[in-house]
A and B are shown apart, each in its own frame.
Chain A
C-alpha cells in the first residue's frame, strides 16, 4: 500500500502479546484513516454496549494516509474508543509529531486491548516493540514523565502520555503528546488509565512510500502557495494564534460568560490573542510539516511552555468571569501537566460556580477554597485538585453534567451528550448551534465549524441569525471535516484548501481515485457510521439537543439580544438533508447508498 504503511500493531496488555497485522485495503478506501478507519475497526471489534473502563474495551491510536508525508500540516492522529464521559464514539484528535513518528516506525495504527496488572508503557523502536514497567512514572506529571521516558528510551523518541487525570479515571482526562499537544476531548486519557497504560514512546526511522512522488510534490507546492496567500492561514493564525477570536466573538455578543449566563465580557481585550502576543508570546510553534505555526510558546510564571488556545482562554477566562491572562496561562499549564481537557475542566468549574452562586453548593464542601465567578486566584489550585481528585476536585473530575445532576440541576451543565460545549453561544450563531446539537461526540466546535461562514465570512458570509440554508451547510461542513480528520490533515488547512485539494493529496499519496465529490461522500459515510455507533451504544436520538437555557432564555444584552437557538426549526430540515428519518435515524436507503452494511 502507498500513503499507508499497510501494517498495524495489536498489543494485548493482559497477555503481553504483540502482533503485527495487515491493514484491510477495502476499509482504508472506504473510511480513509484516522477518525473514519479507527471508528470502523473499533466497531468491528468491540461491543457497543461495553463499559468504557472494562478490560474488554479497546483504544486505538490511528494516523491517516497523509500523516507524515509531504503534505501541509499532515501531523494528526486520532484516539478512538468509547467515551467514558459521553458514552458516544470518541475520536480525539492531536497534532505535534507523535503521529508522523508512528508512521516512520512502520505502523498506521495501534490497537491496545486488555488491561495490564501493573502500570506499563509501550516502547516502539521501528520493528522492536516492548511493554515496559512504568511503576516509576505512575503518578508523574506530563512534562517530567515525557523527559524521563525519552531518557530511558531514545532522546529522539516522541512520547504520548497520560497525567494523573487519566490514572485517576477522571472522565475529562486527555492524552498528551510532546508535553503540550492534547487529544483533549471525550475523556480518552481515562481509558488509557483504566488499562494501566501510562505512555507510548515511538521512534521511527523509515520513510512512508507514496504512489506518485512527482504529483505529490506538485500538489504540495501549490497548496503551500494557497496557504501562504490566504489571509487566515498566511497571516492571522501565525501572528495571533487561535486566541485572535476572543475579540471577534465578543464584539458579536456571543462570548459565553459566567457559564453562559451572559454573552459578552467587558474585559475581553485583556484576555485576547492580541494581549497574549503583546505580553506573553516568546515564539510561534508548529506541528509536523505545518507552514501555519499557530502554536504559542509563552512565558509561564518564571518559566516557559505551551500557551493557551482560544477555547482554553474562553474556558478559564470569560466563562469564569476572569480577566487575568497570566492566571489563565497557569491554569492551562496545570491542566496540561495533570492531563485534563481545558475545555471540559473550565466549563465544569463554571457550572460549579453557578451552582455555588445559586446556593446548591455549600462552603463546607470546599475545604476553605473559593468558588466564585471572577476569582482567578483559586483556578489553578482547582485544576490540581481535579487532576488528583482531591476534595471537591473529585466532582469536577466527572465533568459538568454529572456534577450538575448531583445537585438536581443538570440543566446548568452547558453540554451536549455530556460533552461540554466550547466558546460560542449558539443563540447568536444558528448553524454552529445545530452543529453542537448533532455532533457525534457531543458538544464539539470542530465537527462542523460553522463559525467560518457565519462569523469569519469564509468561504462566504452567511447571516448568523438566519436559519435558512444552515442545515445543508452544516451537513457539508461536518462531512468535509470527517474526511479531513480521517486523512490526517489539520482542520486549519481548510481555511485555504477545499475538497478537490484533499482529493489530489489522497490520490498522489495512495494511488486511489478520489475527487472532491467522493471525498465528501467518504466523509458522509464516516459521519453515518459514527451515528450508527451512537445508536447501538444507547445514545437516544433525542440527545441531539442543546441545554434548555439556550433554547428558552433569550440573550438579555448585547448584539445578540433577544435571540434563542431555533433548533426546532433547524433539526427536521437537517435530518432530511442527511437522508435520515424524522427522529434522526439513518434510513436503510441512505446506508445502502453509502455502502454501510
Chain B
C-alpha cells in the first residue's frame, strides 16, 4: 500500500519534507520510522491524517503520516 509521509522541523534535515512510500499491509508507524531511519526518541508528536496517534498504530493505504520532534511555541 502507498502512504504519504511528512517530516517537520529538525527531522527534515538531510531527509525530505514529503515523500510517498510503498509499505507492506499491516505496517505500523514504528515501521515507517525505522525505514526512514529516525530515532524513536526524536519523535514527540505523530499524527495519522491529522489525528494524534501512537507508534504502534497500524496504517492504511493512502494515510498521511506527519512526524514531529519536540517543538513548542505560543
Instruction: List the interface of chain A (C-beta within 8 A of B).
Output: 230-233, 235-237, 239-245, 247-248, 251-253, 269, 273-274, 294, 309-311, 445-446, 449, 451-452, 455-458, 461, 463-464, 491-492, 495, 558-560
Contact B9 A456 (CB under 8 A): no
CB < 8 Å neighbour of B50 from A232, A294, A559? A559
CB < 8 Å neighbour of B70 from A235, A245, A294? A235
Contact B71 A232 (CB under 8 A): yes
Is B47 part of the contact surface with A, judged by Cβ < 8 Å? yes
Contact B69 A456 (CB under 8 A): no
CB A11 to nearest CB in B, in angstroms, measures: 33
Which residues from B are CB-within-8-Å of A560?
A: 50
Which residues from A are CB-within-8-Å of B66?
A: 251
Contact B74 A232 (CB under 8 A): no
CB < 8 Å neighbour of A559 from B51, B71, B72? B51
Which residues from A are CB-within-8-Å of B9?
A: 236, 239-240, 244, 247, 273-274
CA A491 – CA B74 in complex, angstroms? 9
Asked, given contacts A251-B47, A456-B44, whether A237 binds B12 with beta carbons under 8 Å apart, the answer is no
Closest A-chain residue to B48, C-beta based? Answer: A559
CA A242 – CA B73 in complex, angstroms? 4
Which residues from A are CB-within-8-Å of B6?
A: 251
Which residues from A are CB-within-8-Å of B17?
A: 269
CA A311 – CA B74 in complex, angstroms? 7
**Total count of chain B residues near the partner, CB < 8 A:** 21
Interface residues of B in 48-74 (CB under 8 A from A): 49-52, 66, 68-74
Asked, given contacts A231-B44, A247-B8, A269-B17, whether A237 binds B73 with beta carbons under 8 Å apart, the answer is yes
Q: Enumerate the 4 nearest inter-chain pairs by beta-carbon distance, A residue then B residue, closest first.
A: A231-B70, A559-B50, A242-B73, A236-B71
Contact A251 B50 (CB under 8 A): yes
CB A452 to nearest CB in B, in angstroms, measures: 7
CA A456 – CA B33 in complex, angstroms? 19
CA A269 – CA B52 in complex, angstroms? 19
Q: Besides A251-B6, A252-B50, A457-B52, 13 other CB < 8 A contacts?
A: A230-B70, A232-B70, A240-B71, A242-B73, A244-B8, A244-B9, A244-B73, A252-B47, A273-B9, A273-B73, A294-B73, A445-B74, A492-B74
Contact B50 A558 (CB under 8 A): yes
17 examples of A-B residue contacts, CB within 8 angstroms: A231-B70, A235-B70, A236-B10, A236-B69, A239-B9, A245-B72, A247-B8, A251-B50, A251-B66, A309-B73, A311-B74, A456-B45, A457-B45, A457-B52, A492-B72, A495-B72, A560-B50
Contact A232 B72 (CB under 8 A): yes
Binary flags per residue of B1-45, CB closer than 8 Å to A gives 1, else 0: 000001011101000010000000000000000000000000011
Closest B-chain residue to A294, C-beta based? Answer: B73
Closest A-chain residue to B51, C-beta based? Answer: A559
CB B16 to nearest CB in A, in angstroms, measures: 12
Which residues from A are CB-within-8-Å of B50?
A: 251-253, 558-560
Closest A-chain residue to B10, C-beta based? Answer: A239
Which residues from A are CB-within-8-Å of B68?
A: 247-248
Asked, given contacts A231-B44, A559-B51, whether A452 binds B69 with beta carbons under 8 Å apart, the answer is no
Contact A248 B71 (CB under 8 A): yes
CB A159 to nearest CB in B, in angstroms, measures: 26
Contact B45 A446 (CB under 8 A): no
Closest A-chain residue to B67, C-beta based? Answer: A251
Closest A-chain residue to B17, C-beta based? Answer: A269
Contact B73 A245 (CB under 8 A): yes
Pick from A244, A273, A558 the residue with the most CB of B within 10 Å: A244
Pick from B6, B47, B69, B73 the residue with the most CB of A within 10 Å: B73
Asked, given contacts A235-B10, A456-B44, A457-B44, whether A464 binds B52 with beta carbons under 8 Å apart, the answer is yes
